Structure 1
Amino acid sequence: MNKHLVALGSALLFTASLPVLAASTTELTVTGVITPSACTPTLPGAVDYGKISVQDLQADRYTNLERRTLQLSVNCDAATLFAISPIDNRAGSAIHGSAFGLGLINENQKLGRYHLTFGNPAADTPSTLLTRDEVNNRWYLLFDDDAVRPNDLVALGSLTDSGWIPHPLQNATMDITLHTAIAATNTLTLTSEVALDGSATMEVKYL
């Protein structure tokens, strides 16, 4: 056999047996949009349940407190596409994972929880309350009795040919109702006064 062909064949065989080398670098992409408009959310004060006697609480199940409603207003410099995201500042202290917490006793006893519901929207344009399904990435109706979980999105919008979609607004208001409950007292150490310590932030998310 031609010696040149033998050498070429050996070189090709050696090349084919080499491992495919993976790239040793990868890229980070940073994207976003800067909006000239700004929106300011406002809530009128805090919810204070005053002093609650231990004798008025259930020992073996949670005790529902009176519902309280506040009005959230959002005012923007111009018509802006936005949503509200409630953030639980006491995350991990709620007796239900989908609710907001009221703080801890002795660092590990969960004092209770509160759910948030939204209602009575009013805005520059007739609007319906919407929330987004993160799994399917679509908006759908938010009913008055639907509990909004921490970090959910709540927007105001309308029905279009493509379904429910938020629309830009300059001024809007909506009611936020707290459905608060104290944990069963047989799970708590209540030998001295204990303060309810719920805290949430209403963050404007620009869409």
Structure 2
Amino acid sequence: MKSPVALLSSALLLAMSSSVFAASSVDLAVKGLITPSACAPSLSGDVDYGKISARDLNIDSLTWLERKTVQLSVNCDAATLFAIHPVDNRAGSAAYGDAFGLGVINGTQKLGAYRLVFSRPVAETPSTLITMHKDGNQWFRLFDDDEVAPNDRVALGSRIDGSWAPHPIKDAIVDVTLLTSIGPARDLTLISEVAIDGSATFEVQYL
């Protein structure tokens, strides 16, 4: 017959072994939500600055181009919680700051950059434009002159209990204005024609 001390030691060893085995695995939860509503974004057109003479570019500073505005429409099957997520398809080519790029010329030279300004939201529900920064978790009001950086999110919402939050929208139209500039000419080799090659995707993210 085993002594109480031996039985206690065996129980402790068994508990320790079980703890070790339990810590050697972890569960993966796969979650999500299928929504019956679908939203389709569309733009009123592309932005074309035409031909710009290299002689008209500033040598030592940015050359700001004419502001251009397009309309972004989002049409949903039913009122839906969503945000617009602008993605820079020329990531890494912006000539300055947290902006959208205009592509690279001559292999390594960053041609310029542009930023986006969202304004004048129109929807079936009175709405205010709000934004969430790409690394944030809180919504803020988006004012008319506030610039939106790549991977930020923009939504139509309202202020409830002191906090801004998106609300369901079926159909919305928003003005998107481009603030575009070409880098200092001293940093660019412009002995032949080069293309302004900006590209961004506006994704609808369901919230």
Structure 2 length normalisation: TM-score? Answer: 0.89
Q: Which amino acid aligns with 1:61?
A: S
Task: Determine the C-alpha separation between the residues in 2 that align with 1:55 and 1:124.
Answer: 48
Per the alignment, residue 29 of structure 1 pairs with 29
Task: Determine the C-alpha separation between the residues in 1 that align with 2:42 and 2:55.
Answer: 36
**Contact 2:134–2:153 (Cα < 8 Å) also in 1:** no
1:117-137 per-residue CA deviation (whole Å, 9 max, x = no partner) reads 000001000000000245552
Structure 1 length normalisation: TM-score? Answer: 0.89
Aligned: 1:172 with 2:172: yes
Per the alignment, in what secondary structure is the counterpart of residue 139 of structure 2? strand
1:35-85 per-residue CA deviation (whole Å, 9 max, x = no partner) reads 000011110121000000000001111110000001111100111111101
Per the alignment, residue 71 of structure 2 pairs with 71
Q: Which amino acid aligns with 1:33?
A: L
Task: Determine the C-alpha separation between the residues in 2 that align with 1:108 and 1:116.
Answer: 24
Task: Determine the C-alpha separation between the residues in 2 that align with 1:114 and 1:134.
Answer: 17
Say if 1:43 and 1:135 are closer, same or farther in 2 by CA, change over 3 A.
closer
Number of residue pairs aligned between Structure 1 and Structure 2: 203
Per the alignment, in what secondary structure is the counterpart of residue 138 of structure 1? coil
Per the alignment, residue 86 of structure 1 pairs with 86
Instruction: Give the superposition deviation at 1:181.
Output: 0.3
Moved over 4 A (4+): 133-136
Larger Rg: 1
Instruction: Give the superposition deviation at 1:160.
Output: 1.1
Instruction: Give the superposition deviation at 1:97.
Output: 3.5
Instruction: Give the superposition deviation at 1:162.
Output: 4.6
Per the alignment, residue 39 of structure 2 pairs with 39
Say if 1:100 and 1:136 are closer, same or farther in 2 by CA, change over 3 A.
closer
Q: Which amino acid aligns with 2:142?
A: L
Please give the root-mean-square deviation of Cα atoms over the aligned residues, in Å. 2.4
Q: Which runs of 5+ in 1 are unaligned?
A: none
Identity among equivalent pairs (%): 59
Task: Determine the C-alpha separation between the residues in 2 that align with 1:151 and 1:51.
Answer: 30
Instruction: Give the superposition deviation at 1:140.
Output: 1.2
Task: Determine the C-alpha separation between the residues in 1 that align with 2:99 and 2:196.
Answer: 15
Q: Which amino acid aligns with 1:190?
A: L
